[in-house]
Structure 1
Amino acid sequence: HSVPEIIKMYVSKGLLVQARTFFEKCQVHGGLSSKTYAAIMDVYAEKGLYAEAEVVFHAKRDRGREKRDVVEYTVMIKAYGKGKRYRKAFSIFKAMRNSGTWPNECTYNSLIQMFAGGNLVDWAKKVLNQMREAGLKPHYQTYSAIIASYVRQGRLADAVRTFQQMEGEGVKANEVVYGALINGFAEAGRTEEALHYYRKLEDRGIRANRIVLTSLLKGYSKRGYIEGAKVIYESLKKFDGGPDIVASNIMISLYAYFGIVSEAEVIFNNLRQKGQADGATYAVMMKLYQTMGLLNESTELAEEMRQSGLLTDQVSFGRVIAYHAANGQLADCGKLLHEMLARKIMPNMKTFNVLFKILNKGGIPRESLQQLKMSYQERKPYAREAVITCVFSVGGLHAFALESCKAFMTGAVPLDRFAYNVAIYAYGACGQTDRAFNLFMRMKDGGFEPDIVTYNYLVDCYGRANIVEGVKWIYSLMKYHKIEASESLYNAIVNAYRNAKRPDLAKLVSREKRSLFESNRYSVSDIEGEYEQYSESDIERQH
């Protein structure tokens, strides 16, 4: 076996120490050529082990062979690229030229593709210009990498300029280059430009592959061109295996947009029979059924999705939680959230927006909702846990709520006022009012004065505990302007009197509330408008 082959065997088994020891022994005996050094470095480069490749690159050479060959520099650049150490790659590229070793086409192309792949496209373009100045000709893979990088960043004008430059220099584009441009314009909803490059591809005699056609299908879908989309989808059926899941989901989404249930069901049932339907497929069909008023079918799909094991990540859980939230099924939302957390999957930002909508539907006071949103946006400690606790409480899942509450109540970080408020609410909602009162005292001992949210939850506890004097105390604070009058607090006081079996007092306070707020009633739509539902566009972004 050659030295690189033996080192490759060690590296493939994770025996890096043994690989280095063997290399050092070989060095002692001498005779390693520049080609051998490059081959050894390439073993490490393939695994992204740039530090190990560095050791070989900087190793002392035999007398008379101190100068490193261009291939060694090129492989070292590759190793840095694999390890995403782009600055080091550029640094060694400059050191290469300073040492009198001039980069060849392979060096330039590797460096350009590396920068483009890392979305450092401006660096890539700079090196491309240097390559031209050196009289070297980039190949189509190099241009393709730069164009694809521009497209990923939404810099379509730069992508087009690079394409035109490529054509001007006589470098022929392939389906990868055309595919990148078609996909970029399709993503941007610029279907005519996408079609322009599709026609250029056909004029060149290049057969559009599945990726290109799926990109074009996406463009038609974004513009709502259903007839054009049908033609493309039929073309995809001619490939082995037919349209893939991405194309099928896009087509289902388009049918769903126009409310064409039967056509969407044909594709969906075909995917389901083949076991190819994914979370995105189910999400679109659930929304379609829901929009068309077919709630039983939609609910059955949601349960089927859960039973099929398709709830595996933030997005899939978020979609189903959003579905149940839209139908007002708050307990189901809480159960799914608990299952999600049990699998150690934390909700993402979009799902938290849905959770806020659940709290609004569950009757959380406006001030409490605003306080929780602000705490979450400011990334305060335990903000996420507090929101989750409230979701469990509004869904009537009090055991889950207390479990979540205890997690942050016993944490090492001191609690903020919003966390105390949530804990008081959670314990009060499940009937443990003594514990809620204790937390109120602990909150004051911690230096936090009660705010309007605290009083909302505290008066609810007084009502549940039949402590009428406590309800009267908070009412008097508001009536005599010790605390600000609030419609939510009036509502809480009315409900507290009812819970305490004092409908007479509840009636008096309710009458007073109407006289104060009837002309300036708060609408829950003001909050609901802030939260967006999961939509078909999520499917395209996911894929």
Structure 2
Amino acid sequence: MIDAYAEKGFWTEAEAIFYRKKDSARQKKDVVEYNVMIKAYGKAKLYDKAFSLFKGMRNHGTWPDKCTYNSLIQMFSGGDLVEQARDVLTEMREMGFKPHSLAFSALIACYARLGQLSDAVDVYQDLVNSGVQPNEFVYGSLINGFVESGRVEEALKYFRHMEESGISANQIVLTSLIKAYGKVDCLDGAKVLYERLKDLEGPRDIVASNSMINLYADLGMVSEAKLIFEKLRAKGWADEITYAIMIYLYKNVGMLDEAIDVAEEMKLSGLIRDCGSFNKVMSCYAINGQLRECGELLHEMVTRKLLPDSGTFKVLFTILKKGIPIEAVTQLESSYNEGKPYSRQAIITYVFSLVGMHAMALESCEKFTKADVKLDSFLYNVAIYAYGAAGEIDRALNMFMKMQDEDLEPDLVTYVNLVGCYGQAGMVEGVKRIYSQMKYEEIEPNESLFRAVRDAYTDANRHDLAKLVSQEMKYVFDSEHQTDSETKAEPDETTSDLEDL
């Protein structure tokens, strides 16, 4: 009964049966019962309990056997408790027991996972010297460890040892080696191993297929990658990594329509599950100008409580650059890089506003406007933009007044957003006031602000004034460009004179 509970990981039930005999002082538990209870603790990852039971069993007149030690080594190795596993191995040998190959394999795999490959090799040599024949799991662990660390030559060396010892490579080993060849762009070697997978029973490992697609993608071999992709898709084996690689490939070779098609299919298949896959699909939409779709995916991320990562914000900045002045983007990037409070929330708010998802934008905005903290000026700018874009002009202007009450000086982004609010509300005098300040250089003339004033007059149905601003902007900035060109030309003339000498 205790063994059945242990197998299923029901450690509390197993423990209850194990200690049921404690009231009977004369009845000693045998080593099998201890081994089963240790196994139950191991399955539940209760390593301290397992070790404590192991240490105390001698006090009750029961000595650990070979099975006890092997179980503990495998258990500790599986939990990446490599020092404890090594100590148990040492004690096992001191007690005169020969470790099982599975114990060595587990310890080697643990060292490999932790990137301690020299220790993994030491255990491998120890295994060989002790007369234990390495099995496919030992070789597989070493090969995979070297592959993951980019040490392809060592991985191939142990693959050769494996084949020389008469052990056939299994699917896991072949997949690891395909990944290894992929890391060094060795197409021929990868293809040979991929073909060998056909001879094994069962479907090919999706990791191997993805590695082949990725290798073809890195080499720009579209048709070859597409062939494997379509076979996987037809059999229903393609996963989120498969789709992500194909999106990457199509984007890199300029086949944006195909990338969008794959992104759409990935979305419909329900394979957009983590931050990385969301980022891949959003980047496709962003490049293609499908900003609303980006906003919807961002909202889905927020709803699923997936925390946006640096890759997400890279895409969000790309989106913002397509719709708001570069000065506003730069301000947001600066606040994000400096790790200012609510900078991430501000960026998300701006994106929702830009793509027209105003309810989401205002909900996001209130996370910082209603927070019991003093707001930075960039947060006021975001709030003014969000409220203005949503048509809530009074709330936008209230934010501007609150900003002034806090003795925060309006900057260029503030004026751009404020002018936008005035234009939507038909407050022509407000637009004129800011335009006048710019004309008389109370506000430094800026192309983004000129455009904002022009657009505000257009929104207020004053096309005559918008036309005048366009002419003024053309005059100011054409003159500046001409001056810049003349300035840049002077060194060129000097260089030309020097060349004549």
Counterpart position of 2:160: 199
| 1:194 positional shift | 1.1
Q: How does 1:111-510 map to 2 (within 5 A)?
A: 111-343=72-304, 345-363=306-324, 365-374=328-337, 377=339, 380=341, 383-406=343-366, 408=367, 414=373, 416-417=375-376, 419-442=379-402, 447=406, 449=408, 452=411, 454=414, 457-462=417-422, 464-465=424-425, 466=428, 467-468=430-431, 471=434, 475=438, 490-501=446-457, 502=465
| 1:123 positional shift | 1.9
* Distance in 2 of aligned mates of 1:189 and 1:416: 47
| 1:254 positional shift | 1.0
Deviations 1:324-357 (A, max 9, x none): 2344432321122234444554544532343234
* Distance in 1 of aligned mates of 2:60 and 2:123: 32
One-letter amino acid of the counterpart of residue 392, structure 1: F
Matched residues, percent identical? 52
* Distance in 2 of aligned mates of 1:47 and 1:515: 77
| 1:157 positional shift | 1.4
Deviations 1:108-139 (A, max 9, x none): 22222111111111221122112222222111
Please give the secondary structure, in 2, of the residue aligned with 1:243.
coil
1:89 to 35, 45, 50: 50
Q: How many residues align?
A: 469
* Distance in 2 of aligned mates of 1:384 and 1:65: 67
**Are the counterparts in 2 of residues 175 and 201 from structure 1 also a CA contact under 8 Å?**
yes
Please give the secondary structure, in 2, of the residue aligned with 1:322.
helix
**Are the counterparts in 1 of residues 332 and 347 from structure 2 also a CA contact under 8 Å?**
no
Change (3 A) 1:316 1:65: farther
Deviations 1:173-211 (A, max 9, x none): 111111111111122222211111111111111111111
Deviations 1:139-185 (A, max 9, x none): 11111111111111111111111111111111111111111111111
One-letter amino acid of the counterpart of residue 494, structure 1: F
TM-score by length of 2: 0.81
Please give the secondary structure, in 2, of the residue aligned with 1:224.
coil
* Distance in 1 of aligned mates of 2:410 and 2:20: 68
**Are the counterparts in 1 of residues 66 and 99 from structure 2 also a CA contact under 8 Å?**
yes
**Are the counterparts in 2 of residues 372 and 387 from structure 1 also a CA contact under 8 Å?**
no
Please give the secondary structure, in 1, of the residue aligned with 2:64.
coil
**Are the counterparts in 2 of residues 330 and 362 from structure 1 also a CA contact under 8 Å?**
no
Deviations 1:251-281 (A, max 9, x none): 1111111111221122122122222222222
Please give the secondary structure, in 2, of the residue aligned with 1:61.
helix
Change (3 A) 1:235 1:63: closer
**Are the counterparts in 1 of residues 419 and 431 from structure 2 also a CA contact under 8 Å?**
no
Unaligned runs of 5+ in 1: 5-38, 520-543
Please give the secondary structure, in 1, of the residue aligned with 2:57.
helix
* Distance in 1 of aligned mates of 2:202 and 2:24: 60
Q: Mean Cα displacement is larger for which, 409-418 or 324-333?
A: 409-418
One-letter amino acid of the counterpart of residue 191, structure 2: K
Please give the secondary structure, in 1, of the residue aligned with 2:199.
coil
TM-score by length of 1: 0.76
Q: Mean Cα displacement is larger for which, 466-475 or 218-227?
A: 466-475
* Distance in 2 of aligned mates of 1:265 and 1:468: 55
Counterpart position of 1:539: none
Q: Mean Cα displacement is larger for which, 341-350 or 79-88?
A: 341-350
Change (3 A) 1:220 1:491: same
One-letter amino acid of the counterpart of residue 282, structure 1: Y
**Are the counterparts in 2 of residues 459 and 470 from structure 1 also a CA contact under 8 Å?**
no
One-letter amino acid of the counterpart of residue 277, structure 2: S
Q: CA RMSD in A?
A: 3.5
Of structures 1 and 2, the one with the larger relative CO (CA 8 A, separation 6+) is 1
* Distance in 2 of aligned mates of 1:317 and 1:229: 29
* Distance in 2 of aligned mates of 1:43 and 1:349: 47
**Are the counterparts in 2 of residues 116 and 146 from structure 1 also a CA contact under 8 Å?**
yes
Unaligned runs of 5+ in 2: 458-464, 485-501
| 1:431 positional shift | 3.9
